[in-house]
Amino acid sequence: MQFSSLGLSPALLRALERQALHTPTNVQLQSIPAVLAGHDAIVRAQTGSGKTLAFGLPLLHKLASAAAHNPRQVRALVLVPTRELAIQVGETLRGLANQLPQAIRISVVFGGVSINPQMLAMRGGTDVVVATPGRLLDLVQHNALSLSATQILVLDEADRLLDLGFEAELKRLLVLLPVARQSLFFSATFAPSVSALAQSMLREPVQFDIGATEQEAPDITQRAILVDAPRRTQLLRHLITAHKWKRVLVFVATKHATEIVADKLRKARIYAEPFHGELSQGKRSQVLSDFKASRLKVVIATDMASRGLDITQLPVVVNYDLPRSATEYTHRIGRTGRAGETGLAVSFVSHDTEAHFRLIEKRHGLELPMEVVTGFEPSELPVGTEVVASSPPANLDPLNNGGVKGKRPSKKDKLRAAAGQTL
């Protein structure tokens, strides 16, 4: 099926054609007609499945088709949890809107930078605001914009926006919006508590729980390596060097850890940079730019990087520290294996975190063998754990065109491992 069958305007179809976008993904195929019909919606779909276009295309269609309006009033609002996701969504929407005959102004606003340029940019009015909640409230308080006529509200990464971290800000924003509006909640994951809250905020929403088609399913090999916590940096350095990983996104638990691990890697002559919320926007943008252009090999990040970062051909993600929740595991590993590429997701597991990793496995229906890399054997093995001794065999590395997503190794694999073969 083509985009032309979904009811989008000819102008939007031409804009998609210019970007060589012809066939909708599963989430776009199911969501776009419902959004065009005016329904509220709760949509769960995997990372990298095309959620931005799933809400962006019908949003632009509606705005371009609407009658004349007050240019001072925001007609559509897209809320996101991070600056990076705001920039990414804004770029996608602008890329399409700029090719439409109707002028649709799109503003992207977020904290961490001066508010004055953002206020000046909206002096002539704006149709769509893509924003983080805190900065949006600042702009409202400065009378830089009005939300009283907003027709469409989108929560992208809605589960993060509905959790306790953003709850107070979101409640303040909802009071400023008209009751009669269309609300769209999109995310890769929805915890039961979040789903209940979302239901209370929407009017008879349609719900789409969209699994990937066989063609869209990410090709991500998942591995778990047992290692003592103090030796994780040494193991990371060994894996990067031994397997010649070109680019690696490493997740740690704290901002302090990003700085420490990055510094240790740089001392080992591996070009690494930290990435966390206390960096200036200029520094964050520079790190991402260098990483995307392969001028930077390793980024050490907190979970803020698990939402919205779309880095093409990112081969490896490493969970240096395990995520606090099974939900965040999904978002982390979803940074690799995007747009039809293969990916590798490695989790470091110590004796103290093995039970937590088993919980993550259970929530995701996984059963990964615990691997031990030669030279980095842990001092204590979890009781009853089946271990693949020595470094894993070649067919577990996607850089060698293999991968068995979550499967136990075959007998042949185990023999190769016992023989001491490496990646």
Provide the token pair at 44.
């769960």
What span, in angstroms and rounded, lies between the C-alpha atoms of 79 and 146? 15
The DSSP-derived string for 280-339 is -HHHHHHHHHHHHTTS--EEEE-GGGGSS---TT--EEEESS--SSHHHHHHHHTTSS-T
Which is it for strands 76-79 and 152-156: parallel, antiparallel or unpaired? parallel
State residue 387's pLDDT score.
Answer: 62
Question: Is residue 224 domain-shared with residue 338, that is, in the same domain?
Answer: yes
For the chain, the first-to-last Cα distance in angstroms comes to 41
Question: Looking at residue 389, what is its pLDDT?
Answer: 55
Q: 97 with 154, same domain? A: yes
Q: By the 8 A CB rule, do 46 and 334 touch? A: yes
- Structure token pair of residue 328: 């965040």
Mean pLDDT of the chain: 84
DSSP 272: E
Based on the fold, state whether residues 206 and 239 are members of the same structural domain.
no
**121 lies in some domain:** yes
* 68 falls within a domain: yes
Task: Name the residue with higher pLDDT: 411 or 65.
Answer: 65
Domain boundary among 191, 210, 229: 210
Contacts (Cβ under 8 Å, ≥6 apart) of 83: 110, 111, 112, 132, 281, 284
Secondary structure of residue 417 in the 3-state scheme: helix
pLDDT at 385: 62
Shared domain for 203 and 135, answered yes or no, is yes
How crowded is residue 2: how many other Cβ atoms within 10 Å of its Cβ? 10
For residue 240, what pLDDT is reported?
95
Query: Last residue of a domain, which of 170, 188, 210?
Result: 210
- pLDDT value at residue 420: 37
Q: Are residues 183 and 239 in the same domain?
A: no
Residue pair 158/190 in contact by the 8 Å Cβ criterion: yes
- For residues 258-266, give the mean pLDDT: 96
> Residue 216 pLDDT more than 60?
no
What are the CB-based long-range contacts (under 8 Å, 24+) for 116-121?
118/144, 119/144
Q: Is a pLDDT exceeding 90 seen at residue 116?
A: yes
Q: Kindly state whether residues 178 and 309 are assigned to the same domain.
A: no
Residue 423 lies in a domain: no
Q: Are residues 275 and 331 in the same domain?
A: yes
For the segment 69-80, the average pLDDT, to the nearest whole number, is 85
Q: Could you list the residue range(s) of the whole structural domain that residue 309 is in?
A: 219-418
Total tally of structural domains belonging to the chain: 2
Identify whether residues 205 and 226 lie together within a single domain: no
Q: What is the pTM of this model?
A: 0.71
Sign of the C-alpha dihedral, residues 226, 232, 238, 241? positive
pLDDT of residue 421: 33
Do 159 and 142 fall within a single domain?
A: yes
Q: Of 210, 245, 273, which marks where a domain is finished?
A: 210
Which pLDDT score is estimated for 215?
Answer: 46
3-state SS assignment for residue 156: strand
Same domain flag for 330 and 243: yes
- What confidence score (pLDDT) does residue 398 get? 39
Distance between CA 398 and CA 332 in Å, rounded? 18
The pLDDT assigned to 161 comes to 86
pLDDT digits (tens, 9 = 90+) for 311-340: 778 999 999 999 988 888 988 998 888 766
- Residue 390 sits in the same domain as residue 325: yes
**d(Cα 31, Cα 57) in Å, to the nearest integer?**
10
Distance CA 270, CA 206 (A): 49
Q: Please tell me whether residues 71 and 138 are part of one structural domain.
A: yes
Question: Tell me, what DSSP letter sits at residue 144?
Answer: S
Read off the CATH number of the domain in which 130 is found.
3.40.50.300
